Chains A and B, each alone.
Chain A
Amino acid sequence: MTVARETRLLMGMPITVEIVDPVSPGVLSDAFEYFAGVDERFSLYKDDSEISALNEGRSSYSQISGEMREVLELAERTRRESNGFFEIRRPTGGLDPSGIVKGWAVRNAADLIRQSGAENFCVEAGGDIQCRGKNRHGEAWIVGIQNPLNAGEIIKRVTPEGRGVATSGTSARGQHIYNPHNPSQPIDDIVSLTVIGPDVLEADRFATAGFAMGKAGIFFIEQLDGIEGYMVEANGRATCTSGFGAFVSP
């Protein structure tokens, strides 16, 4: 079987697209071009991106693109749904929609691939995942959840069956790294929150919002319909929502 699979570094992270069905090679490159276009528009690291122009006052809200409007509206919806824990307004001023752009872009790239006629494929960008159908062996796609305290280790295998998966977190809070401005800060917080949602955009926005809540985040996820989560604490304990177990492979 001809399987197209490629990884490129875009948006500051490795992005992998795998298409199991025979499609023209253009489908794969179109998907990557889509991500490159998203980066051009939303990158805070590019002076000429639309978001930089907006943040620096070089353009106004009346001039924003449809894509920017969609993302800002999604961010506002997520802010409301999370009691303000999801916030793209930075304390230093300006907007940082990065917490939602990744999942949004993966969902849209997956939709592009689907519209080309492919039914079996997987798109992954920096840990945000949208797989559809089956893998190259005709089996369900299995997503490994990485141990945030030991990057080489998988701590759960889940079969999302077409749903999206996203992980938010940082393991910068490990014992080898400390904040010199506040070295006594106890390391008792959460290091990652993985969320399974109806699609990767839903998974990403609730993973981002839930992670910002700290330990309370898993209860926030529990209360959402159709959303399940797995939270890892810095102390090496993990907590999952009541419906999460249904996705776990032994």
Chain B
Amino acid sequence: MASPRFPTIVLSVAASAAAVFGAVSAVRAVEAGAAQGQTVQAIAGDSALVPVAAACHFHDGSYTGQVFDAYYGEVQVQANISGGCVASIEVLQYPADRRTSRRINDQALPMLQSEVLRAQSGRIDVVSGATLTSRAYIASLRNALAQAGP
């Protein structure tokens, strides 16, 4: 069981594909609930358990988390603490490397059908999306918050 001092917060990584992007908004959701001392649970079924200090008792300042590997590159975040609370989280590094300029020979490539994204409705059983950086993001965030106290 989580202690009251470090309640377990379900930190949604907003449907996997969002990785860093979604985790940032999820962290904001956690902050909103954390201010009231509540456990925040966002999108069900796609979340990661992250124990973080929920109350506003961090030391003010900016704390940079360790760099964590995220398959395509490295993820590193900075937590900015103001008034003891997590004011913002910045992503300092995200996977953008390994996109080498190498190109496969694009002569005689077939024409492929292209379209504008459109929402589909109807029954689905399971969702496919990407989860590349969530773990690395959370690891770096956890490291940054550990430096921030309480």
Contact = CB atoms under 8 A, between A and B. Distances in A.
B118 A237 contact: no
Interface string B106-142: 1001101111111111111111111111110011000
Contacts of A45: 135, 139
Nearest to A139: B123
A63 interface: no
Nearest to B10: A9
A179 B93 contact: yes
B72 interface: yes
Contact of B21 (A122, A152, A176): A176
Interface size class of A (residues with CB under 8 A): 35 or more
Contacts of B112: 218-219, 222, 239-242
A165 interface: yes
Interface stretch (B30-38, B40-48, B54-62): B40-48
Contacts of A182: 96
Secondary structure type dominating chain A contacts: mixed
Contact of A181 (B15, B93, B99, B138): B93
Interface string B53-94: 000000000000000011110000000000000000011111
Contacts of B138: 12
A23 interface: no
A219 B112 CA distance: 8
Contact of A13 (B48, B90, B92, B115): B48
B117 to A, nearest CB: 5
Contact of B134 (A12, A122, A145): A12
B129 A170 contact: no
Given A172-B20, A216-B106, A127 B127 contact: yes
B22 interface: yes
Nearest to A192: B130
B17 A173 contact: no
A155 B117 contact: yes
Interface string B6-21: 0000000011111111
B91 A177 contact: yes
B126 A219 contact: no
The 7 lowest CB-CB distance pairs between A and B, nearest first, are A12-B135, A146-B129, A144-B124, A151-B15, A126-B131, A169-B130, A172-B20
Given A155-B117, A157-B122, 5 more contacts: A96-B71, A171-B19, A172-B20, A179-B93, A192-B17
